[in-house]
Structure 1
Amino acid sequence: MIISDINIVHLVNFDFLASCQRTPTISYISQEQIKDIGSTVDLECSVQYGLDYPVAWLRVDDAGISGALPISSGTTLIVPNNRFSITFDRQSSTYRLQIRDIQETDAGVYYCKILLSLVDEVAASVDLLVRRSPIIAANSTSSLVVSEGEDIQLECYAFGYPYPRISWRRENNAILSTGASIFRGNFLNISNVQKEDRGTYYCVAENGVGKGSRRNIAVEVEFKPVITVPRPRLGQALQYDMDLECHIVAYPPPAIVWIKDGVTISNNQHYSISIFATADEYTDTTLRVITIEKRQFGQYTCKATNRLGSAEAQVELFDIKLL
């Protein structure tokens, strides 16, 4: 009977020593968590054979290990933030890290670590993903000035979670270079740009969180002047006034002159020139012929010039005989 008791004691001691010599392990860690801003998350880490070792939570952001943020050691919170709390359930040997009122900056990889020595540890991780509405990145195209005939590429990038979808539209749902009113993708290519391609383009980023984000991209197309004359021939009697008109489309805005018989006309007692810029690319000009004299009948030339070229059009003023 005494021998039997001694054997039992030896067996108990052996089991105790064996359990003390087992390497601590992490038997469970929470799966990936996807949360909304303002919500609460519980991250759990269950440890086996680790009661005599320090257990820590820390977060690693996009900067990698250099951006590691220690959060807790055992049941002591290191981060001075009342949104964080740490508890330990002895029955299940589980360390529970709770984060309340989740912020965008809380997203990252959270590590549960058992520190075995200064150079050895056991670790497991869980990703915390925070749903964020899209924000269009600063390196997206903001505006563009090109010359007619060039090939261009508009770029749009956005970040958020889930990863945003990018689509393109034009002002007033005008047709894009792709032949449709909507195009999806980070890049919108326009080949052989024409003046009709100028205007406002919209980069829209959406991911189902919030209202999405939009950037307006102004595309200015430089082109040489195009002139239209609403009334190429005008009749008027002597001693009356008459207005000659030209409409010009050009970008950059052109220099405009009126010419008669090879001589550039200037404002004086016989002529008055008016120039009205109705938009960046639209200009109207009027030449008023004052108290018409016989020598003022004839052909007038309206000429517009910018750095891409020039154009001209003629307006004829003829005499109407009064009875």
Structure 2
Amino acid sequence: MTITHVEGRKWVLRIKDVKESDKGWYMCQVNTDPMRNQIGFLNVVVPPNILDYPTSTDMVVREGSNVTLKCAASGSPQPVIMWRREGNEPISTGASSLNASTFTISRVNRLHMGAYLCIASNGIPPSVSKRVMLIVHFPPMIWIQDQLVGAALGQRLTLECNSEAFPRSINYWMKNDTIITQGKRFEPSTHEASNYKVVMKLTIKEVDIGDFGTYKCVVKNSLGETDGSIKVYHIPSTTTTPTTPPTTTTLPITTETPYRKNHKNKIYRPFDEYSSSSNKIHMSDSGELRNMDLSKDKDRDRYRENSANLEDQREKEAFVDNDTKSDASVGRHFTARMDLTVLLALLMIHFLR
């Protein structure tokens, strides 16, 4: 800090390498009578700076515990603190950032594991940030999508297990209490899906009869051990056998049904409505058909009977005598007989072929 006299009555105060401590009130005083002075305020702005203490460093916690992250910064004006997760992952439910110098996570779990950024800004560039890594330790766990797998002989088969563990785990496959290693027939492999997720695969290049059974995927770390089982069973190969359609022989059989007259369905109409012929056919009680001339018989009315329910719609004639008022015979039962001899002969021919 220096004072320079320039141009006779002008004095200048020069401050080199201004520090935050230089901030404050300054007075220029002239010792005259009366004395004169002038006051000025020097405001020093300082970009933000994150303090090492009490700002949190990388933290390792057990799953289920509570954790508090802290961030402190200096600057002028006083910096504003904001927390974010690296990769813009949600820092809390429904929020991607949190404006606070500290925040607490209750019952931390593996999903909280990752990098957190403490960002300090006060409008004076540049803004600064610090990266705090939150590491969550938990014992291994396994889940298997298909625990029962079928395979045919000679098939290429891949078994799969998914595991989660941190610290990172040791992963291997077993069958009959023997560890399966890389070889001509087996090909175990692992793929890290994230810093705590691992996909385990076991490929059987050509399934043999001795490969059926139960396989175990085993996961170990410093906090525990677990395993999962997959059972491989045999699927027999199927063969197609050609089939011959059955031969069907059709034997014609003729059946005759006895004809019966239903008197309830009889309809009597005057015969003269249908024909003027006087020669009619009459059936006697013995079944004999006769041609009868009834044209001279004026004491009788002639009627024709229509049997509506007969299969062949046959018609018969009936005669009503006005003198005796008695019903004449209106029909006889026609009985058709099956020729059993012909039927039996046809059946014998069929079976002797």
Q: 1:304 & 1:172 partners in 2: Cα distance?
A: 29
| Amino acid corresponding to residue 109 of structure 2 in structure 1 | Q
Q: Distance in 2 between matches of 1:253 and 1:127?
A: 59
Shift in Å, 1:153: 1.9
- Residue 65 of structure 2, aligned match among 147, 150, 154: 150
Report the CA distance between 1:96 and its aligned residue: 4.2
Report what 2:50 is aligned to.
136
CA distance in 1 between partners of 2:178 and 2:107 (Å): 38
Q: Higher relative contact order by CA 8 Å / sep ≥ 6: 1 or 2?
A: 1
- Aligned pair in 2 of structure 1 residues 248, 113: CA closer, same or farther (>3 Å)? same
Deviation per residue, 1:241-282 (Å, 9 max, x gap): 211111222111101121223333233343221122343212
Residue 239 in structure 1 maps to residue 162 in structure 2 = no
Residue equivalent to 1:195: 110
Q: Which residue of 2 aligns with 1:319?
A: 234
Structure 1 residue 89: Cα displacement? 7.8
TM-score normalized by structure 1?
A: 0.61
Query: 1:211 deviation in Å?
Result: 4.8
Q: By how many angstroms is 1:298 displaced?
A: 1.6
Separation in 2 of the partners of 1:129 and 1:251?
51
Q: 2:100 aligns with which of 185, 205, 208?
A: 185
Return the match for 1:309 from 207, 214, 224. 224
The answer to whether the 8 A contact 2:83-2:97 is kept is yes
How far residue 160 of structure 1 moved from its aligned partner, in angstroms, is 1.5
Deviations 1:265-310 (A, max 9, x none): 2333432211223432122221122322222112211111111222
Letter in 1 for 2:185: H
The C-alpha deviation readout for 1:4-42, integer Å capped at 9, x for no partner, is xxxxxxxxxxxxxxxxxxxxxxxxxxxxxxxxxxxxxxx
Alignment partner, residue 65 of structure 1? none
Paired position in structure 2 for 1:97: 13
Deviation, structure 1 residue 176: 3.1
Cα pair 1:88 1:96 within 8 Å, conserved? no
Partner-residue secondary structure (3-state), 1:222? strand
For the residue of structure 1 that corresponds to 2:43, the secondary structure is strand
Structure 1: how far apart are the matches of 2:105 and 2:215? 39
Residue 285 of structure 1 aligns to a residue in which SS? strand
For residues 274-289 of structure 1, what are the structure 2 equivalents within 5 Å? 274-289=189-204
Where structure 2 has 5 or more consecutive residues not aligned to the other structure, the ranges are 30-37, 239-353
1:225 to 113, 131, 140: 140
Instruction: Choose which of 151, 155, 161 in structure 1 pairs with 2:76.
Output: 161
Alignment of 1:21-36 (within 5 A): none
What's the CA shift for 1:188? 1.9
CA distance in 2, matches of 1:149, 1:217: 19
Separation in 2, partners of 1:304, 1:143: 26
Contact 1:259 / 1:302 at 8 angstroms: preserved in 2?
Answer: yes
| Length, aligned pairs only | 229
Contact 2:63–2:107, Cα closer than 8 Å, also in 1? yes
**TM-score if structure 2 supplies the norm length?**
0.56
Task: Give the SS at the match of 2:210.
Answer: helix
Which structure 1 residue ranges, 5 or more long, are not aligned? Answer: 1-70, 78-84, 115-123
Opposite residue 260 of structure 1, the aligned amino acid is: K
Residue identity opposite 1:293 in structure 2 = D
- Root-mean-square deviation (CA, aligned residues, Å) is 3.2
Describe the shift of the 1:182–1:278 C-alpha distance in structure 2 as closer, same or farther (beyond 3 A).
closer
Q: Distance in 2 between matches of 1:125 and 1:301?
A: 84
Moved more, 311-320 or 134-143: 134-143
User: Higher strand fraction: Structure 1 or Structure 2?
Assistant: 1
Give distance in 1, aligned partners of 2:7 and 2:107. Answer: 67
Deviations 1:22-69 (A, max 9, x none): xxxxxxxxxxxxxxxxxxxxxxxxxxxxxxxxxxxxxxxxxxxxxxxx
CA distance in 2, matches of 1:88, 1:149: 74
Q: Is residue 249 from structure 1 mapped to residue 139 from structure 2 by the alignment?
A: no
Change in Cα spacing, 1:86 to 1:98, as seen in structure 2 (3 Å) is farther
Whether the aligned pair in 1 keeps the contact of 2:192 and 2:198 (CA below 8 Å) is yes
